[in-house]
Structure formats: C-alpha cells, structure tokens
Homo-oligomer: A and B are copies of this chain.
C-alpha cells in the first residue's frame, strides 16, 4: 500500500507532516508513505527545505494520494506543468486534501457535486471554483475526503487508516500520537469526525 502526500513549494509543515507521522504508525512491510513533490527539493512556508521522496508521476500511481496545503496553491493550480502530472482517479485510489489542497482537487474536477472542507483562508477560492464549502473539519464522499484547519490533518490520516486497515488500527494510531492522559479524548474526537463516513 503506497500513500503519496503531495507537497509543493510553500507547503504548510503541519499539513504534510501530521499526516505522514500518523500514517507511518501502520507497521506493515507493504505500507509505505512518501512525500511527493514537483522538484527534488521543496521549501516550506517557513523556509524548511526538504528532499522529495517521489515525483508527481509516481504519486499519481499510488494507492492513496493526499494533497497537502501551502501558501502557493493558487499559483500551483495555474501551473500546467505541475497540474498535467496529476492524474488522480477515485475509482482506483483513495484521494484526500488538506486545507488549500481542496483547491487542487476542485481544479482537477474531482469535487463536482461533492462538498468539501478547507481552511477559512482558502474557502473563497474553493467556492469560486464552484465547490460548496462545509463548516466542519472533515468530510468524505466515497473515496474522496477533505479536511479543514491544519490540525484536522489527524482526521484525514485517520480516515485513510480506517478505510484500509480498519477502525481498530485507526484508534491505535491516534492513541499512540495523542497527548499523554488525553488519549481517550483524542480517539473519541477522531471517531466523531471520521466514523460517519465509514459506513457508505
């Protein structure tokens, strides 16, 4: 199982790395999480430089693609060189977007007739792209999920784990990363957000 987290120049560290950290709680030989970027290195919104692990073509072939967020998403959706490499298909992949990542899904035509969650800054741009924005942290419809607010990344990662490995694996992953003495609370918050979308 290969999960790609699309991470562009100007990326938000919380959005890419919370998902990456939680998803890596699944310890199975065939479970692999990769940072995918258009260039060999990308620089975050706070000037942290990281090396990509895979390119966008390989990411498009992953079993799960999560689109991270960042301060340059409006430029990225205008960049045909980047967008043309993104070939995502909910019939063969789970697809998720964090915050401004929803704008990329909208521009790829993946949110037609599907409402989305995003952050408050990105909300007007996603609406302008013709997508209804929900006032909630997480929403999923079949194989497409969106989350709004950096720390909602934990819900997006949890949804991927629940879909692929089951709800007990999800609870175990969140329990591990949750604050000491608040583990039950964080598991419950995650269940509240994610479980309504697991019975489709």
Contacts and interface: CB of A to CB of B under 8 A. Distances in A.
Q: Is the interface of A mostly helix, strand, loop or mixed?
A: mixed
B24 A20 contact: no
Contacts of A117: 180
A177 B150 contact: yes
Contact of A182 (B12, B24, B47, B137): B137
Contacts of A51: 48-50
Contacts of A21: 12-14, 46, 150
Interface residues of A, number: 47
A33 interface: yes
Copies of this chain, tallied across the complex: 2
Contacts of A137: 179-182
Interface stretch (A88-96, A124-132, A151-159): A151-159
Nearest to A152: B179
Contacts of A20: 13, 46, 48
Interface string A123-147: 0000000000001111000000001
A197 interface: no
Contacts of A33: 46
